[in-house]
Structure 1
Amino acid sequence: MLFDICFFLLSVPVFVQSLDPTFNDDVLGLIVFKAGLQDPEFKLASWNEDDENPCNWVGVKCDPKTQRVTELVLDGFSLSGHIGRGLLRLQFLQILSLSNNNFTGTINPDLAQLGVLQVVDLSQNNLSGLIPDGFFKQCGSLRSVSFAKNNLTGQIPESLSWCTSLAAVNFSSNQLSGELPSGLWFLRGLQSLDLSDNLLEGEIPEGISNLAYLTTINLQKNRFSGKLPVDIGGCLLLKVLDFSENSLSDLLPESLRRLRSCTSLRLRGNSFAGEVPGWIGELTNLDILDLSANEFMGRIPTSIGNLNILKELNLSRNHLTGGLPQPVTNCLNLLVIDVSQNRLTGILPPWILKMGLKSVSLSGNGHSKGVQYPSVASLASSLQGLKVLDLSSNVLSGEIPSDVGVVSSLLVLNISRNRLFGSIPSSIRELKMIQVLDLSHNKLKGRIPSEIGGAVSLVELRLEKNCLTGNIPTQIKNCSSLKSLILSQNNLTGPVPAAIANISNLQYVDLSFNHLSGSLPKELTNLSYLVSFNVSHNNLQGELPVGGFFNTISPSAVSGNPSLCGSVVNRSCPSVHPKPIVLNPNSSASSNGSSLNHNHRKIALSISSLIAIGAAAFIALGVVAVSLLNIHVRSSMTPTPVSLALSGGEDFSCSPTTDPNYGKLVMFSGDTDFVAGAHALLNKDCELGRGGFGVVYRTILRDGRSVAIKKLTVSSLIKSQDEFEREVKRLGKIKHHNLVALEGYYWTSSLQLLIYEYISSGSLYKHLHDGPSSNCLSWRQRFNIILGMAKGLAHLHHMNITHYNLKSTNILIDDTGEPKVGDFGLARLLPTLDRCILSSKIQSALGYMAPEFACRTVKITEKCDVYGFGILVLEVVTGKRPVEYMEDDVVVLCDMVRGALEDGRMEDCVDGRLGGKFPADEAIPVIKLGLICASQVPSNRPDMEEVVNILELIQCPAGDQEELE
């Protein structure tokens, strides 16, 4: 059988004796290169100068015939030092990839002289200096070069235009300056050009139409000026064009209308003027159109309705007039629309909220007094599925609809700075997912409904500048994720509820300019994350709390309360004297007359004085002790100021998530950011699942895109912040279409979150075991899942990442049926653990764990993942769980399948729900492969790269596949 032959060939070792006397040049060159490096993780331990050849060294690949080194791939090895001249001995090197390390120094110009070098990737290091002009003077075979994310300076060398075979150039995220070299457009084979995030300036020269094969050009975040080149439309294959955040101006060149293949057109943050051209509707393949923050004027063209597959439309911060054109309803795939901060007039079209959109922003368009809007109440039932609705800063009038709670999908509702009146409806309790609720700057009356406590995901509540009355409801304590509570400039009465002290995440509280009374609860000192607490201009009285934030509160934050006392307001509190301690004179049986009574009084005075003195001393010591304790607690609990790294678009005004004094939130992508803070979704309603390393929740980014967030539950074992961030950033750089992408992270000493892409179709476990039988996965779907898992895992192992926690709940299936391996590399976030502790962290993976976890003498390696993959293969093919519990028996899947193999009943193992619709010449080899991967002996298991090759050999021809669909 094909599989058996294939595996036999892969299992037999082949020994080749090199006859080339110069072969040791490769060994010598690599050893010299290694000698100049620091290798803290001993990744290059296999590099032994006594070896005859380096072909089995980590990161090294050789030509199987000549045994000469052809590839050196050391991505993410944590290496540091200089890229030494030893590499120049590798005369047959084709691929040199040293990305994601800590290399320093300058780029050696002689590297490109290696005669057959095709790919050079030195990205994500700390290289500095100029890009050497000599690097590109002898580069006949060079096809791809990346120096991205370093500290390179100077200009792009003119000699770059000599490398006519170049297909991809990436110099992004450096400090390159000067103008684009005039010969850049002579690279006629160029397909991808990324010079973004530099200091490049001057005009973009014409001649770009020579790049007939160009598909991607990214020049965003530079200082380019002048016009777009008029001939840019000659790049007919261009799909992605991003010139955002430059100083480009004038009209859009008409040649752009020829870019019929373009899927993403981003021109945000320039000074383009004139009208948005009508021919924009001819770019029918666009799914992203971002013309925001420019000087466009006139009406929005109706031709936008021709963009049938458009998903994101951003025309915000321009000078557009008129109304939204009705043909936009033809954009059936539209998810995000932002036309805020323009001069739009007319009536708010009802259809805009009936298109199934996820994010709508129409804020800041109320510049004309003639603008009228329909009642919001008439739209409430049309908003199902909407995540973000921003209608702020218009002239909206009317009442908030009583049934607003039916829009249960809302994450952000901002209707501030309008003319709304009436009361806040009690149905607000149904907004279980809402994170930001801003009703400020309106004319709302009545009480804050106690049902506000039902909005359990609230992070930011803004009700300031209304006419609200009554008490602050104690039910607000149920909003445990709340960070910002702004209720100022209303007519609220009653006390500040002690229940507020239970909202442990509070950072910003503003209750100023109300009619609140009573004393401030002492429990408020427990709010360890407070940044601002303003209760000025109320009727509060009594002593200010002592301790925590209140030891340093600003006097202005408590001013306007004449009856408050304490050191902050420079007003002493009334003394409370204890009752005098007097001994009963009749308690003595003495009868010595007045002299004895006089002695009794002296004794009473003496004892009373001693007790009073002792009590005073005790109180003084207690005050000192409490003060010292408060200082200690504050120093240990106050978050260290760090830089909040929210990469992406603008932040909501007054949003607490942008404050630099709490935590660190980092998004690896620059395209978007959160609508609210890190604690916003940590509640049961948003929970997706639980695993050995944490709980997973779902939330929505500001652009309407969902993400999954894992709250790590191993905080006590997490490494230091530096080590944590280094490991997470490394994991974030691992990209593969069969791996769940890590998009960011959040850090405090007590809370760590990992931010992943959200896969909507759920886990492999759900598809195999929880779905209805009518939706049973076909054989072709199962085979593709197995192959995709293998490719994802092979890529992880290529990046020297061991998963440790493979199971069907950690394999997600996207909308196209592609599998994505998730939860990889999390064990690297923990300190070095023995296998008992490690296995306890992933004990939920029952049935998938390799037997060596139970044996202390066997090393835990990538072969553990291969074992788990083998079990997954058997699970996918059979449709059965790794371990199934019967009434009086326990069935172990691996043993069951192995028994069927011995009895010659292999086909009986295939999931019966397939009804026999599967190719036996695929299914049986796949089952055998699963059993071999799940071998009890680690050395008998193949590498994942071998597994991928075997699966591709097993796969039936396309014609046979179609017959089984």
Structure 2
Amino acid sequence: MGFLEFFIFALISVSSFKSCKSVEDDNDDDVLGLIAFKADIIDSSSHLSSWNQEDNSPCSWKFITCNPATGRVTEVALDGLGLSGKIGRGLEKLQNLQVLSLAHNNLTGNLHPQLSLLNNLQTLNLSGNSFSGGFPPSLINSGRIKFLDLSDNSLSGPIPVDTFSTCSSLRVLSLSKNNLQGPIPDSISQCTILNHLNLSKNRFSGNPDFSTGLWLLTRIRTLDISHNALSGRIPNGVSGLHYLKELSLHNNHFIGSLPSDIGLCSHLKKLDLSNNLFTETIPDSFKGLSSLTYLNLANNMLTGDFPKWIGDLKGVDYLEVSGNGLTGILPASIGGLGSLTYLSLSGNSLTGNIPETLIYSSKLTVVKLRGNRFNGSIPEGLFELGLTQIDLSRNQLTGSIPPGSNQLFTALQSMDLSGNRLTGDIPAEMTLFSNLRYLNISWNNFETRMPLDVGNFPNLTVLDLRNGAFHGSIPGDICNSGSLEILQLDGNSLTGSIPDDIGRCSSLYLLTLSHNDLRGLIPRSMSLLKKLKILKLDSNELSGEIPPELGGLENLLVVNISYNRLQGRLPSRGIFPSLQESSLEGNLGICSPFVKGPCKMDVPKPLVLDPYAYGDQIGSHENGAGAKSSKHSNHRRFLSVSVIIAILAAVLISIGVLVITLLNISARKRMQFVDNALESCSSSSRSTRSVSFGKLVWFDSKIAPGWVSNPESLLTKGAEIGGGIIGTVYKASLGEEGRDLAIKNLIVSNMVKSNDDFDREVRVLSKARHPNLVSVKGYFWKPELQLLVTEYVCNGSLQSKLHDTSTSSQLSWSTRFKILLGTANGLAHLHHSFRPPIIHYNIKANNILLDENFNPKVSDFGLTRIMAKLDKQVMSKRFQSALGYVAPELACQSLRVNEKCDVYGFGVLILEVVTGRRPIEYGDDNVLILSEEVRVMLEEGNVLECVDMRMGEYLEEEVLPVLKLALVCTSQIPSSRPSMAEVVQILQVIRTPVRHRMEAY
């Protein structure tokens, strides 16, 4: 080898050595970066166990992808591994990283600014975590990012105006399901090659300037800005989006007419403009949407005739136009929609017949025409399709129910024909509906016998035959299926007795048989209905006593047995002892303190000795006259003895009562004398002590009497945990038992002078034992100091959890519903289990405490009984602390104040829990009253816009009726509000799973 060749070989070798060294250093950076990143991650399932800092390269590690040529990390994909912790430092060392995906974990904290240093990063997916803080503009300003998904987190605040000034590479952006607010920046138009934009389910507001922003995204394919608070008119200009396939603007506050040039978007497949405030007619240009498969215009204020050109949308398979003001007839051209599977036109004012041509839409599975003015008969061909859901209720349909086809027998799950004018017999084929779960044919005029085979539906959960003009008896096999949960037969002409087999309806929770002609006894087998919550048997001819076994129905919330022929004792357990007069009146003689009139006992007559019988035996040997005289004499003797015994018994009882009363008076005077003497001796012998002895009373037998000798010593600043207008609250430990108690130092000192009055009122409160009430454990009293000892509830108040941004995300919809239902149960117990009822008068989120499982406990109830002597200034401050919750009648002395004050406060509490907002909010120029704002939004059809998005996913079919219940509870007229027992009943019905299925149908 010559020198030249040797030199070249050496040069190549040195170069190769340097190159290898450089690669090794780069690999070290990747290893160190990933190990540093892992240090801030909590990997409870050890998914990252293969990540070892001793390795020279991370390319063999799980979830890591490298470039085979350079050995550098290009992708980190850790989706759905249950990781928690935060994104710390380290990832910035991965300079060749192109894809970072950490979706669907439990990562928290702010988005680390170091992520913007990844110069080659093209895909970043952090969706489905719990990241908080503001949106970091630096993630987009890197200039290389193409795919950015930060959806389903807890990002908040506005997006800076210039965020999108350098987004020329961005193709996909999703920020949905966060708490972002403010306007959508116009700089979004700079993302000239953006294909997919999803800003849904945030709190964006204002009137976006579409012409300078969104309408300039000429490459956009899917645009979703739904579920925000955007408002204003939408101008024309959408036709410039030539590639647009999906446009979702639903659940906002947009007004005015629909953009007419939407019809020029020839590639549009999905259009959802529902739940806004759009008015005027549906533009004729819509018939040009030849590619459309999904059209939803529901819950707006559209008017005019239903479009006759609807049959031109040949490709539509989902058509939803319910909840508008459309008029006219349903054109026959609708039968030309051969791909149609879902049709809902409910809640309009459509007239005429249901077109026969509808049967040509052979793929139909759902037909909802509820609440229109359709007349004529039901097209028979409609029942020959494979429908799963039929809702033709609240129309003016006549004729009979058509027989079904084999296809319908196996497919149908829900049928609602209620509120029409249907007549005739129920088709025998109806029992062949093997998958039918919901059947409602109430409020018709069938004038036929009750169907005898209604018990043969194998999967039926709801059967509603109310006011259907049915007669005959209730079939004994009505519970054959075993799945029935709701049975309503009210308002018919049913006769006979309630069948004993009713006890086989083990799943039943709602049973109403009111306003019929049922006779006989209430069957004892009804006590087997352990899930039963509502029982209505009023306005029948039922007789006898109510079976005492019904008292064992622990879930029973509502009972009405009024206007029957019942008598005797009520069951001693369950809801029966607290039934009100309205639920019992109109019977022969039910024994209850709430019912006026005689109490008739349905018991066997006592054995009566015939006073003549003994005389006959004596006088059997005498003549007739002598015998008659003997009988008369013995009769007088018998009556005399009875009267004497009764008089003696009465005298003895009176003497006993008098003696006991005198002894009690004497004992009380002696005790008072001793107490005064002790206090006098104590004062004279220890003049340096200014306070008198106090009285410590315990109602809880588990608490040792000597737990604390001086309760006043517990009232230290360090033990203080809260307070308000009526007193300060302290936390105290129960010594060796380790149990905590709460001590409220009442502000009523020097106002309640009588220990007897205080003792009497607190003892009433101590009897209010319920899982959703804070139990009273005892008290300490002396003239200048009154302490109320209650259980300690560890998780703080609902107010702190609801309005603290760091904890509000813990309150999911199911948790919030549980809190509302529990609070209602607690208040119902106070109102309906005591006479007179215990009224709270101060329902607010701060008085609802939460235990470790977020079960609610109502606190501070009944304190108005103790505070009756408070001066006007203190009471005024108390009501000022509950602004927004106070019922209007409390400010008007001429109105009778009762339990409906609490119902009003509870209604406001519902609104606060669902919306996450305070009852009264102060703006710059005005005051916003939550109840009034929600009422307006409900009238405008967009009430779901006020729902607190921090609670995540929720069931609209639960939230909407809960909001409506709140507005009923906050009625200005007290008599228009329901009782708390009725509130509990309504909430139970809303929560019941079968209701979810009914609404889903």
Q: Same fold (TM over 0.5)?
A: yes
Q: Secondary structure at the match of 2:545?
A: strand
How far 1:243 moved relative to its partner? 0.5
Does 1:493 find its partner at 2:500?
A: no
- For residues 53-92 of structure 1, the aligned pairs below 5 Å read 53-92=57-96
CA contact (8 A) 1:490 1:514 kept: yes
How far 1:190 moved relative to its partner? 0.4
Q: Secondary structure at the match of 1:453?
A: helix
1:322 alignment partner in structure 2: 328
Distance 1:392 1:268, change over 3 A: same
- For residues 478-517 of structure 1, the aligned pairs below 5 Å read 478-517=480-519
CA contact (8 A) 1:177 1:199 kept: yes
Q: Deviations over 1:544-581 (max 9, x none)?
A: 3535763564575223334154142662854569999x
CA contact (8 A) 2:958 2:991 kept: no
Within the candidate set 113, 126, 149, 2:152 is matched to 149
Distance 1:276 1:445, change over 3 A: same
2:449 alignment partner in structure 1: 447
Q: What is the distance in 2 between the residues matched to 1:79 and 1:533?
A: 49
CA contact (8 A) 1:90 1:114 kept: yes
CA contact (8 A) 1:432 1:454 kept: no
2:713 alignment partner in structure 1: none
- For residues 394-793 of structure 1, the aligned pairs below 5 Å read 394-401=395-402, 407-408=408-409, 409-540=411-542, 541-546=544-549, 550-551=553-554, 553=556, 556-564=559-567, 565-567=569-571, 568=576, 571=591, 574-575=602-603, 642=818, 647=955, 675-676=997-998, 702=1001
Distance 1:34 1:407, change over 3 A: closer
CA contact (8 A) 1:524 1:545 kept: no
Q: What is the distance in 1 between the residues matched to 2:166 and 2:993?
A: 43
Does 1:243 find its partner at 2:249?
A: yes
Distance 1:49 1:386, change over 3 A: same
How far 1:249 moved relative to its partner? 1.2
How far 1:663 moved relative to its partner? 8.1
Distance 1:401 1:204, change over 3 A: same
CA contact (8 A) 1:404 1:425 kept: no
Q: Deviations over 1:883-938 (max 9, x none)?
A: xxxxxxxxxxxxxxxxxxxxxxxxxxxxxxxxxxxxxxxxxxxxxxxxxxxxxxxx
Residue type matched to 1:168 in 2? V
- For residues 4-15 of structure 1, the aligned pairs below 5 Å read none
Distance 1:197 1:413, change over 3 A: same
Residue type matched to 1:126 in 2? S
Q: Deviations over 1:171-205 (max 9, x none)?
A: 10111110000100110010000111111111222
CA contact (8 A) 1:179 1:201 kept: yes
CA contact (8 A) 1:131 1:153 kept: yes
TM-score (ref. length: structure 1): 0.58
Q: Deviations over 1:638-671 (max 9, x none)?
A: x9985997646799999999965798979xxxxx
How far 1:451 moved relative to its partner? 1.7
CA contact (8 A) 1:177 1:201 kept: yes
How far 1:159 moved relative to its partner? 1.5
CA contact (8 A) 2:41 2:85 kept: yes
Q: What is the distance in 2 between the residues matched to 1:556 and 1:31?
A: 65
Q: Deviations over 1:313-371 (max 9, x none)?
A: 111111111111222222111111111111112232222244222111112112xxxx6
CA contact (8 A) 1:657 1:676 kept: no
Distance 1:131 1:333, change over 3 A: same
2:98 alignment partner in structure 1: 94
Q: Secondary structure at the match of 1:399?
A: coil
CA contact (8 A) 1:160 1:184 kept: yes
CA contact (8 A) 2:533 2:557 kept: no
Within the candidate set 358, 377, 390, 2:365 is matched to 358
How far 1:294 moved relative to its partner? 1.0
CA contact (8 A) 1:110 1:134 kept: no
Q: What is the distance in 2 between the residues matched to 1:518 and 1:574?
A: 14
Within the candidate set 223, 244, 252, 2:229 is matched to 223
2:385 alignment partner in structure 1: 384
- For residues 65-214 of structure 1, the aligned pairs below 5 Å read 65-137=69-141, 139-157=142-160, 158-205=162-209, 206-207=211-212, 208-214=214-220
Q: What is the distance in 2 between the residues matched to 1:319 and 1:70?
A: 56
Distance 1:319 1:101, change over 3 A: same
Does 1:290 find its partner at 2:300?
A: no
Which consecutive residues of structure 1, in runs of 5 or more, have no partner in the other structure? 1-15, 581-630, 633-638, 667-672, 678-700, 703-965
Distance 1:551 1:180, change over 3 A: closer
CA contact (8 A) 1:81 1:103 kept: yes
Query: Number of residues paired by the alignment?
Result: 595
Q: Deviations over 1:105-126 (max 9, x none)?
A: 1111331221100111111111
CA contact (8 A) 2:64 2:73 kept: yes
Residue type matched to 2:221 in 1? T
Distance 1:236 1:155, change over 3 A: same
Distance 1:43 1:100, change over 3 A: same
CA contact (8 A) 1:242 1:266 kept: yes
How far 1:17 moved relative to its partner? 9.6
CA contact (8 A) 1:521 1:545 kept: no
1:831 alignment partner in structure 2: none
TM-score (ref. length: structure 2): 0.56
2:756 alignment partner in structure 1: none
Residue type matched to 2:190 in 1? F
Q: What is the distance in 2 between the residues matched to 1:228 and 1:659?
A: 39
Residue type matched to 2:534 in 1? S
Q: Secondary structure at the match of 1:225?
A: strand
Does 1:311 find its partner at 2:312?
A: no
- For residues 921-932 of structure 1, the aligned pairs below 5 Å read none
Does 1:47 find its partner at 2:51?
A: yes
Residue type matched to 2:354 in 1? L
Q: Deviations over 1:724-781 (max 9, x none)?
A: xxxxxxxxxxxxxxxxxxxxxxxxxxxxxxxxxxxxxxxxxxxxxxxxxxxxxxxxxx
CA contact (8 A) 2:534 2:985 kept: no
Identify the range of structure 1 (346-355 vs 24-33) with the bigger mean alpha-carbon deviation.
346-355
Q: Secondary structure at the match of 1:176?
A: strand
CA contact (8 A) 1:405 1:428 kept: no
Q: Deviations over 1:222-277 (max 9, x none)?
A: 11111224212111111111101111111122221221001110100111111111
Q: What is the distance in 2 between the residues matched to 1:94 and 1:159?
A: 22
Q: What is the distance in 2 between the residues matched to 1:387 and 1:443?
A: 25
Q: What is the distance in 2 between the residues matched to 1:380 and 1:470?
A: 31
Which consecutive residues of structure 2, in runs of 5 or more, have no partner in the other structure? 1-19, 580-589, 592-598, 609-769, 772-813, 822-952, 966-983
Q: Secondary structure at the match of 1:88?
A: helix
Q: What is the distance in 2 between the residues matched to 1:665 and 1:386?
A: 22
CA contact (8 A) 2:454 2:478 kept: yes
CA contact (8 A) 1:651 1:658 kept: no
Distance 1:294 1:381, change over 3 A: closer
CA contact (8 A) 2:532 2:553 kept: no
- For residues 858-873 of structure 1, the aligned pairs below 5 Å read none
Q: What is the distance in 1 between the residues matched to 2:511 and 2:65?
A: 60
Residue type matched to 2:136 in 1? P
Q: What is the distance in 2 between the residues matched to 1:526 and 1:539?
A: 23
